[in-house]
């Protein structure tokens, strides 16, 4: 029988695995993708990738991948075709969570696992 502390540790480990998303067929293999938030058909992701200096997140909507990218520092759309009716929600969420997002971004770009930081972020939103 598992002790409560062992069960809690197992649960934390499984939650971190859930933060990683599977690479899409034909996608690049030189980055790691982290699911930061999922609400209905909207997914906000962060990548651990080389050569990207400006902190940003990527948005998937429905079955469409990379429909938009948003700056974390400025909370504005950088590129993409996400319906503008969702801009306000994404920008407000980035503004609310900017410090945690920047910390997760910095951690990922340094080659470390931002999973625990993202788990805290998702937990704060009630989406963990």
Percent of the chain past pLDDT 90, that is, above it, reads 34
Neighbour count for residue 88 (Cβ, 10 Å): 9
Confirm whether 3 is domain-assigned: no
Q: Tell me if the pTM is above 0.85.
A: no
Residue 38: domain span = 29-125
Q: What is the mean pLDDT of residues 16-35?
A: 57
The total of structural domains in the chain comes to: 1
Q: How far apart are the C-alpha atoms of 110 and 19, rounded to whole Å? A: 18
pLDDT of residue 12: 53
Confirm whether 54 is domain-assigned: yes
pLDDT band at 32 (very low <50, low <70, confident <90, very high): confident
Confirm whether 8 is domain-assigned: no
Q: How far apart are the C-alpha atoms of 107 and 17, rounded to whole Å? A: 17
List pLDDT tens digits, range 78-121: 999 998 888 899 999 999 999 999 999 999 888 888 888 888 88
Residue 49: closest CA among 29, 66, 64, 35: 29
Q: Which of the two residues, 91 and 32, has the higher pLDDT score? A: 91
């Amino acid at each position: 029988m598992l002790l409560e502390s062992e069960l809690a540790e197992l649960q934390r480990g499984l939650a971190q695995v859930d933060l990683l998303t599977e690479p899409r067929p034909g996608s690049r293999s030189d980055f790691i993708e982290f699911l930061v938030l999922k609400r209905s058909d909207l997914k906000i992701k962060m990548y651990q990738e080389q050569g990207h200096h400006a902190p940003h997140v990527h948005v998937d909507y429905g079955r469409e991948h990379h429909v938009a990218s948003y700056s974390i520092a400025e909370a504005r759309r950088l590129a993409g075709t996400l319906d503008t009716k969702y801009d306000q929600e994404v920008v407000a969420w980035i503004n609310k969570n900017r410090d945690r997002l920047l910390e997760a971004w910095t951690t990922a770009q340094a080659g470390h696992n931002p999973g625990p930081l993202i788990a805290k972020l998702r937990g704060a939103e009630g989406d963990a």
